[in-house]
């Protein structure tokens, strides 16, 4: 069963929350982070993307960058921008995007649960990305990035969280510059805290990583690396748990630099072996059901419908990302490993299909593919089976903001 505990969050003063809160470190490159932080000295990007305060061109994985993150974090504390909660608490976090609301519980989840498979994975991780987070956590002493977990709904947990929201005033309530609203409540009543801990320990047999595989893996490796010096804080990591029925998964699309020596007509002719191909014209095509794909090639959109003989019924084989990977990317374009091949890139659905057109029309890419989103039920089935999805299979929106709630591993 799931082991979660309250924690003493490091968090901003109420009047500074909207200035401190920043988009997650892994959705921005260094230049974008520098622009976004702008003249905002209170932006948490100074901690999560601390290279923005160092000379341009610095290696973002150098120890100097991690030391600067530590310095900036300590400066935020000394200036009173951030303060430490005086007792372990749970936190309720509601996000609203385009009128759609979702609410999660911010807590500390057990590293041992991750190692035992009670916290289930559905993706492989990349060593260099893990090492970046390991270095950031060990040097700064803080888990600044939230791991987004999902669980099957438990009515008693839903009711308890909604009751707290209804009867208590939030400590943060603001709309960010991307029009997404962020509202946070502190759960500081001991009886309610105990009830939440008990409900997860008795009603939730497993949780599932929706977003943050590298952050979870890094937390586990930090505790292991600390050995006998491991702290109580390092035995847990920062998570937000969402009930499954509140989650929204967007498409995660692909763009490819070249056609592997083929011309567009040749590629289309080969596609007919595994797909029904329909010319859609100039209007961007967004798939409306499983096993339908959009393809943007040579200024035109096509609808590709996978034929029944092109995929299997097992939890991985039935995924659209697998069908695309095996029948087009590997078979026709010779992209065998999407994690390492430099010819492919990934575009989150939040950017829209216009981004796919833009990258192909510019000449940067030769072809783009739009996919139907993976469902949360598919994610659960794959994680339960012990299998992993192809890379970049899911894109969750809205994103949690960094800086509102940080977990310290050293007291």
* Whether the Cβ atoms of residue 92 and residue 106 lie closer than 8 Å to each other: yes
Whether pLDDT at 94 is above 90: yes
Residue 384 lies in a domain: no
Same domain, 180 and 230: yes
Instruction: Indicate the pLDDT class of residue 184, thresholds 50, 70 and 90.
Output: very high
Name the domain count of the chain.
Answer: 2
Do both 223 and 359 map to the same domain? no
pLDDT value, residue 230: 79
DSSP-derived letter for residue 16 is: G
Cβ-based neighbour number of residue 158 at 10 Å: 14
3-state DSSP: the chain helix, strand, coil percent, rounded to 5?
40, 25, 35
Spatial neighbors of 48 by CB under 8 A, at least 6 apart, are 22, 24, 25, 69, 136, 144, 145, 402, 403
d(CA 365, CA 258): 6
* Domain of 146, in residue numbers: 4-246+397-408
* Model pLDDT for residues 371-389, shown as the tens digit of each residue: 999 888 888 988 998 888 8
What's residue 34's pLDDT? 93
Lowest model confidence (mean pLDDT) among 77-86, 227-236, 291-300: 227-236
Q: Does the pLDDT of residue 231 top 90, yes or no?
A: no
Q: How confident is the model at residue 101 (pLDDT cuts 50, 70, 90)?
A: very high
Query: What pLDDT was estimated at residue 316?
Result: 84
- Provide the 10 A C-beta neighbour count for residue 405: 27
Residues 240 and 256 grouped into a single domain: no
What pLDDT sits at residue 143? Answer: 96
**Is there a single domain that holds both residue 226 and residue 263?**
no
Q: What is the mean pLDDT of residues 153-176?
A: 97
Give the DSSP H/E element, type plus range, for residue 155. helix 155-167
Residue 389 lies in a domain: no
Q: What pLDDT is stored for residue 243 in this prediction?
A: 95
**Do 120 and 28 share a structural domain?**
yes
- Is the predicted pLDDT of residue 126 greater than 80, yes or no? no
Residue 38 maps to a domain: yes
The answer to whether residues 168 and 259 belong to one domain is: no
């Amino acid at each position: 069963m799931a082991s979660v505990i309250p924690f003493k969050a490091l968090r901003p003063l109420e009047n500074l929350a909207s200035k401190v809160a920043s988009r997650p470190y892994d959705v921005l490159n260094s230049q974008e982070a520098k622009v976004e932080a702008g003249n905002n000295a209170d932006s948490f990007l100074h901690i999560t993307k601390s290279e923005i305060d160092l000379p341009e061109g610095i290696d973002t994985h150098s120890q100097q960058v991690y030391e600067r993150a530590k310095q900036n974090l300590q400066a935020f504390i000394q200036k009173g921008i951030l303060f430490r909660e005086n007792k372990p608490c749970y936190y309720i976090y509601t996000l609203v995007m385009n009128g759609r609301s979702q609410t999660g519980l911010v807590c500390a989840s057990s590293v041992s649960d991750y190692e035992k498979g009670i916290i289930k994975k559905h993706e492989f991780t990349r060593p260099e990305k893990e090492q970046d987070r390991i270095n950031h956590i060990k040097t700064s002493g803080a888990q600044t990035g939230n791991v987004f977990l999902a669980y099957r709904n438990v009515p008693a947990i839903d009711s308890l969280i909604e009751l707290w929201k209804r009867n208590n005033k939030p400590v943060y309530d603001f709309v960010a510059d991307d029009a997404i609203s962020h509202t946070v409540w502190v759960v500081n009543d001991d009886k309610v805290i105990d009830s939440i801990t008990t409900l997860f320990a008795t009603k939730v047999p497993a949780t599932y990583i929706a977003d943050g595989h590298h952050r979870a893996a890094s937390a586990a490796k930090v505790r292991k690396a600390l050995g006998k010096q491991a702290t109580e804080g390092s035995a847990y990591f920062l998570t937000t748990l969402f009930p499954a029925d509140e989650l929204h998964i967007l498409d995660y699309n692909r763009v490819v630099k070249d056609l592997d020596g083929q011309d567009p007509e040749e590629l289309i002719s080969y596609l007919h072996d595994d797909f029904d191909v329909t010319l859609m014209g100039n209007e961007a095509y967004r798939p409306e059901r499983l096993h339908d794909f959009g393809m943007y090639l040579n200024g035109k959109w096509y609808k590709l419908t996978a034929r029944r003989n092109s995929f299997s019924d097992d939890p991985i084989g039935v995924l659209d990302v697998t069908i695309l990977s095996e029948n087009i990317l590997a078979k026709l374009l010779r992209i065998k490993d999407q994690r390492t091949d430099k010819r492919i890139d990934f575009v989150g659905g939040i950017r829209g299909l216009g981004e796919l057109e833009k990258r192909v029309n510019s000449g940067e890419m030769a072809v783009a593919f739009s996919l139907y989103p993976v469902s949360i039920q598919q994610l659960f089935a794959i994680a339960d089976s012990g299998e992993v999805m192809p890379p970049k299979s899911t894109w969750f929106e809205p994103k949690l903001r960094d800086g509102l709630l940080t977990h310290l591993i050293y007291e």
